[in-house]
Amino acid sequence: MSEPRIMLTGMAINEAMDIAMTLDPKVFLLGEDIAEPSGGVYKVTKGLSEKHGLHRVRKTPISEQAIVGAAIGAAIAGYRPVAEIMMMDFLAVCLDQVTNHAAKIRYMSGGQTTVPMVIRTSAGAGMGFGAQHSAMLETFAVHSPGMKVAVPSTPADAKGLLLTAIFDDDPVLFVEQMMMYWDKSYAGEVPAGDVRVPFGKAAIRREGADVTLISYGRQVHDCAAAAELLAADGVSCEVIDLRTLVPWDEAAVMQSVGRTSRAVVVHEAVTRCGFGAELSSRIHEELFGQLSAPVQRVGSANTPVPYASNLEADFIPTVADIVAAVQRTQG
Amino acid sequence: MSDVERPDAPDRDTLLQMFEIQSRIKLCDERFRSMLMSGQIRLIYYSPRGQECISAGWGVHLRQSDYVVTIYRGLHDHLAKGVPLRELWAEFLGRATGTCKGKGGPMHVTHPESGLMVTTGIVGAGIPIANGFGLAAQLSGTDQVTVVNFGDGASNIGAFHEGMNLAAVWKLPVIFVCQNNLYGEHTPMSMSTGVEYISERAAAYGMPGVTVDGNDPIATWKVMGEAVERARSGGGPTLVEARTYRFWGHLMGDAMEYMDKAERKAAMAADPVVLYRAWLIDNGHATEAALVEIEEQVTAAIDDAVEFALNSPQPDASELYTDVFGDESAAMLNGASR
């Protein structure tokens, strides 16, 4: 037996792109600062331009509309571009290309043209970057029919979901929470080679009987921590990691909540109209009579992301917030 | 179009090919407007009347495998790239037999078989996307070129700046065709734009820029040919500003109060298609009878297309839910069918 391959999230994402480019000459990357010597501002594309060439790992001007537009055109013409939008907040700069073009082109063309592209973007608070470099805006894409959305929580999923995204024939928004890139506490085993994780298949991270915690991305780890604390109090939590929001695994969620009769939805995006609102609504529509308590939502404060470290820590949902939400479903 | 012979004119076949394209556009437009006015059809319609020579000018230089991107005022560009009349009419009328199964409409006509890749309803948004087609050709090592059409208004939106700059930096085989009809929606260019000629902006990106009289089919043909050749041979992008006039305002139903009546009257009196037709005859490139024959053939093809479209069904109700994703299982819509 060989040693398990323990990797950091940033390395796993890098490996996915390396494998995809090796497998398929139609895959290329474009974005700001992604080539050597920088290898991306977070080093996630480190080494790829040396290995695959500057024509396939393309540094762009600071022009988000031009980046996403070029990716869309090349995708329609048969390529599989992976565009990097350095910070998710910058999606707002190119949202027209995402929501009006990438998302709608298959439909508007009656299926004649497709946009097999990925937009990778760094996101999330906790880095001390303030309001315009920290937001979680995945619902921008969720609310744009035609876009798929993935938010990985582990290095293995980051690699496997990104490989699926790159070889998917639809546009995918791939959300990478910055806090996870190089933090060893998020390290994990990653299978070697072209191992893909399918979209729309949730992972049950912890089995439990009393309440279902539904989350995605980094907050899955907080849910697991909360579940551990609650177990000591005799509350058994099931933790579901959605992995992808479009499509999302309704069957797994309904099956679990149907059994536990209680649900808490958790994400880093601000609570109001966050993806948790959709989850909560669907659970109520499907399981109203079987619920023992209203579905609880845990998300960030309905504010811009603050700068001061104490305020930023208060902005992001905490393990304590999740425990409190679970307790509201009890009794 | 003067009544004198033009030594810079292309060969006779090309001249007649341009006339055929112009006639298609003019006659299609006239049919759309008459059917709209008589209430036979209802649709959102942006007349390209007056701008025929520009599309014909690049149309004759392009191959089927070249790419074209255009905007909501795009009928002339669709026809110049060879989108078939039947499917085009059916799409405009929202029928199942349309280019996009009736799901795109006039603002989103797509027909990859003809190389008509994107029609966008968003001003300027086609420019960055055209770069993607250019990049694909460059990466593949083909000599395909991309023509992206937009109006003077689009030159004031951010996507224009980002797209032009990237095309210049990457030397992409893209021809940026600004069909300057002097109005952005209801606002004259003089109130929206700080330069006299849009082509001046090319210098800011380090690419060639040229202004041409877009109502002069020979001059337009020549300028387009140079730009296409530059792109095809690896010389990079060009910004072509083709000056013209839109006869029917922004959108059918537009009262056009913001347009100067005398200016519009003069522009319509100098109808570029009518003048070109007369020039062809006066200079012996075609007989009246030959041009009438072309016009009659076009009219017959339009008659056929209109009948085809009117007799075609609307898309099946199930089409509402298809073509959102490649995977059409119900799970992709997450039970949100209602």
Same domain for A160 and A280, yes or no, is no
User: Would you call B96 an interface residue with chain A, using a CB distance cutoff of 8 Å?
Assistant: no
Residue B98: closest CA among A112, A13, A316:
A112
CB contact under 8 Å between B165 and A101, yes or no, is: no
10-residue block means of pLDDT along chain A (331 residues)? Answer: 89 98 98 96 97 98 98 98 98 98 98 98 96 97 96 98 98 98 98 97 98 98 98 98 97 98 98 97 96 98 97 97 97 75
CB contact under 8 Å between A112 and B129, yes or no, is: no
- In CATH, what number is assigned to the domain containing residue B257? 3.40.50.970
User: Would you call B70 an interface residue with chain A, using a CB distance cutoff of 8 Å?
Assistant: no
Tell me the nearest-neighbour CA distance from A193 into chain B, angstroms: 25
The residue ranges of DSSP E strands in chain B, in sequence order, are 67-71, 116-120, 146-151, 174-180, 183-184, 187-188, 209-213, 238-243
Candidate from A73, A170, A246 with C-beta closest to B131: A73
Q: Does B330 fall in a domain?
A: no
Range of the domain at B70: 12-313
Same domain for A162 and A212, yes or no, is no
Question: Angle at Cα A80 formed by Cα A76 and Cα A82, nearest 5°?
Answer: 115
- Say how many CB pairs under 8 Å bridge A and B: 160
Same domain for A208 and A179, yes or no, is no
- In CATH, what number is assigned to the domain containing residue A30? 3.40.50.970
Predicted local confidence at residue B338, as pLDDT: 41
* ipTM of this predicted structure: 0.96
Same domain for A166 and A30, yes or no, is yes
Report the number of distinct structural domains present in chain A.
2
Q: Which residues in chain B have their CB less than 8 angstroms from residue A248's CB?
A: 334
Range of the domain at A322: 203-329
Q: How far apart are CA B129 and CA B111, in angstroms?
A: 16
Q: Return the residue in B69, B100, B133, B135 with the most chain A beta carbons within 10 A, the one to mutate for interface testing.
A: B135
Candidate from B110, B121, B131 with C-beta closest to A70: B131
Q: Does A198 fall in a domain?
A: no
Annotated catalytic residue A133: yes
Q: Which helix (H) or strand (E) holds B217?
A: helix B217-232
Candidate from B67, B131, B327 with C-beta closest to A66: B131
Predicted local confidence at residue B3, as pLDDT: 64
Give the contacts of A43 (CB within 8 A, at least 6 positions apart).
A10, A182
The residue ranges of DSSP E strands in chain A, in sequence order, are 6-7, 27-31, 57-59, 80-87, 118-123, 148-150, 172-177, 188-189, 203-206, 211-215, 237-241, 244-246, 263-270, 296-300
Same domain for A182 and A221, yes or no, is no
Predicted local confidence at residue B178, as pLDDT: 98
pTM of the model: 0.97
Task: Identify the segments of chain B with pLDDT beneath 50.
Answer: 337-338
Candidate from B69, B165, B326 with C-beta closest to A63: B165
Q: Are B239 and B202 in contact (CB under 8 A)?
A: yes
Report the number of distinct structural domains present in chain B.
1
Same domain for A41 and A164, yes or no, is yes
Nearest residue of A to residue B65, measured between CA atoms: A77
User: Would you call B24 an interface residue with chain A, using a CB distance cutoff of 8 Å?
Assistant: no
Predicted local confidence at residue B337, as pLDDT: 45
Q: Which residues in chain B have their CB less than 8 angstroms from residue A106's CB?
A: 323-326
Secondary structure class of A139 (helix, strand, coil): helix
